[in-house]
Chains A and B, each alone.
Chain A
Amino acid sequence: MIEAVGLTKRYGRTVAVDDLSFTVQSGRVTGFLGPNGAGKSTTMRMVLGLDAPNAGEVRIDGKRYRELHHPLRMVGALLDAKWVHPNRSARAHLRWLARSNDLPVKRVDEVLDIVGLTDVAGRRAGGFSLGMSQRLGIAAALLGDPQVLLFDEPVNGLDPEGILWIRRFMHRLADEGRTVFVSSHLLSEMSLTAQELVVIGRGKLIAQSSTDDFVAHATESSVLVRSPQLDTLRTALGRDGVRVRDEGEHLVVSGLECAEIGELAAANGAVLHELSPQRGSLEEAFIQLTGDSVEYHAGLDAPVAGTPDLVTSGEVNR
């Protein structure tokens, strides 16, 4: 179990992590979700004792990371696949890691086999593709056969095959009863992998719940309305409890059922080209929750090339 209490990290005047408290339950996959720059990596480095928090603390099964004897046997982590000397071979990289925690050398070959790098084990790690580096990082995380595993954005930049492999791998680790704490900025990815979610934005905790609850609560259903008389409709819909989002060619209405909108349109003599219920996507839920806490707002309302599709990054990976 990982327990963070009042974790705070400041870099100069920037507060990267702000009084963050959460728990990661044993034997489950917990997603660590937040927009880029929300403080996920910083938090993970603090969990591993690499960065010292300005306030608060993290404990792993009741101990601080720096107090752990042979930490690799208890916590495996992949924070960045590039934390490897480029001129050292994959096997040599794992060999010194294994030696540092008194693990037998044959364990190196075992983990190389698990991640499927046996054939390239003697090659210098600098020549590895991102996907191979990622596998090497996972091999390193698995060296000590730890019960707790941390992964920071493990699917970032991977091709679909690599993503699928990582995703299956997470499931396998979870099925083996391990605690997996994995960060991502892609909610769709998390919804496939994680049972629990810790959601942060600008270093603050936004929500901690099961993924199902999070999705159920956070996604509100809405209705897409297409019509040549959008202006008329917009006026008609302008009343309490109804939120109307103008997306140019259509409106997205929340707070009203399809039938009600249809009746309203008929009463106002507006022609409807489309009236379809929308199940709120996970990304939308995510953005609704973290909307105020994204560190760098892109000018999404300004047309760059059509409507920027926020869901794309998630969909492509699916």
Chain B
Amino acid sequence: MNTNVTNNIIPLNTIKLGSSCKVNLLTAEGIIRRRFLDLGLINGTEVTALAKSPSGDPIAYLIRGAVIALRSEDASKILVEKI
């Protein structure tokens, strides 16, 4: 991967509501990594941030047609690139 792309790589929890991105790397380990994989979060998977809960965390994401809520700590372990 070239450095140009690396600059655009951010944690999922920081993307704007309504915007979409592609999974670049999962930094999560153990059980949550398994959960992410179960949701189909592999490299290149498109994710859209849909809505925040009343307190701002968790955030609901659209992942492969399903709406999944993730806490910011967990979403930060998914690195994405903007599209």
Is A bound to B? no
| B binding-site residues for A, Cβ under 8 Å | none
A-to-B contact residues, CB < 8 Å: none
